[in-house]
């Protein structure tokens, strides 16, 4: 209000303070938070290549919700129910090898935004999980792969053969085989030979360490 020159009050406008925000949108118009739902936001770090997780997605297990991780690492999952959610980060490399992703539990509240930092597991983490985490003998290296058919479906009980050129300076005697999950000792496996090549065979779902230069 202001005072007129004759001493009268003149109303120029109204200003209200307080109230409730039912919905919040960003500058692009995308709804990021509503009072009736929960939002989980955060970033995903790529342990495979170090840095932001390009080509990764964040998935909410059991809900079908999934969002791609942006180029610089952030992700946003709006419109969720309140309560406990289980998140997984999927990466194209992990999907190609058929490897599992760790699950992160996050508790969200209606009308609130919960922040979390996720990590794509490194190949060393995956090898520890799949191969028992045992110490590798000297001069050995992990060899990990996945066998699929033409449609991409994984194949079980398939024989895989590894061959390399035999040399006088490198003739390993036995393969280093880790113990099983219960500590059992598997049978000894010896190297085969085909012409000038040393060979070894295994099946899918088997765990072995192959001597390497």
pLDDT tens per residue, range 155-181: 778 877 777 666 555 555 445 555 566
**The CA-based dihedral angle spanning residues 29, 30, 34, 38, taken in that order and rounded to the nearest 10 degrees:** -160
pLDDT in tens, 186-206: 555 556 666 666 666 666 666
Confidence band of 20 (pLDDT split at 50, 70, 90): confident
Helix (H) or strand (E) holding 78: strand 74-80
Nearest alpha-carbon partner for 122 in 26, 49, 61 = 49
Domains in the chain with CATH codes: 21-123 (2.60.40.1120), 134-213 (no CATH)
pLDDT of 86: 94
> 40 pairs with which residues across the strands?
77, 114
Q: Which residues, 6 or more positions from 45, have their beta carbon under 8 angstroms from its beta carbon? A: 51, 52, 53, 73, 117, 118, 119, 120
pTM of the model: 0.55
Residue for token digits 């219960």? 182
Q: Which two tokens stand for residue 110?
A: 């209606």
C-beta neighbour count of 43 within 10 angstroms: 18
pLDDT of 174: 47
Mean pLDDT of the chain: 72
Q: Is the pLDDT of residue 48 over 50?
A: yes
CA gyration radius, the chain? 29
């Amino acid at each position: 209000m202001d005072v007129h020159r004759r001493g009268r009050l003149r109303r120029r406008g109204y200003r209200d303070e307080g109230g409730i925000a039912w919905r919040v949108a960003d500058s692009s118009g995308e709804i990021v938070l509503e009072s009736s739902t929960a939002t989980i936001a955060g970033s995903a770090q790529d342990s495979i290549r170090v840095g932001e997780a390009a080509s990764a997605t964040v998935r909410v297990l059991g809900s079908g919700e999934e969002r791609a991780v942006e180029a610089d690492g952030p992700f946003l999952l709006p419109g969720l129910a309140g309560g406990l959610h289980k998140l997984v980060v999927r990466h194209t490399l992990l999907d190609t090898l058929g490897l599992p992703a760790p699950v992160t539990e996050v508790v969200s509240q209606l009308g609130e935004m919960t922040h979390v930092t996720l990590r794509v597991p490194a190949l060393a983490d995956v090898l520890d999980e799949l191969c028992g985490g045992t110490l590798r003998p000297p001069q050995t290296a992990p060899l990990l792969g996945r066998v699929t058919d033409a449609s991409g479906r994984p194949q079980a009980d398939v024989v895989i053969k590894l061959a390399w050129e035999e040399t006088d300076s490198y003739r390993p005697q036995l393969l280093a085989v880790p113990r099983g999950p219960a500590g059992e000792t598997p049978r000894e496996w010896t190297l085969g030979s085909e012409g000038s090549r040393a060979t070894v065979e295994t099946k899918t779902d088997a765990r072995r360490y192959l001597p390497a230069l």
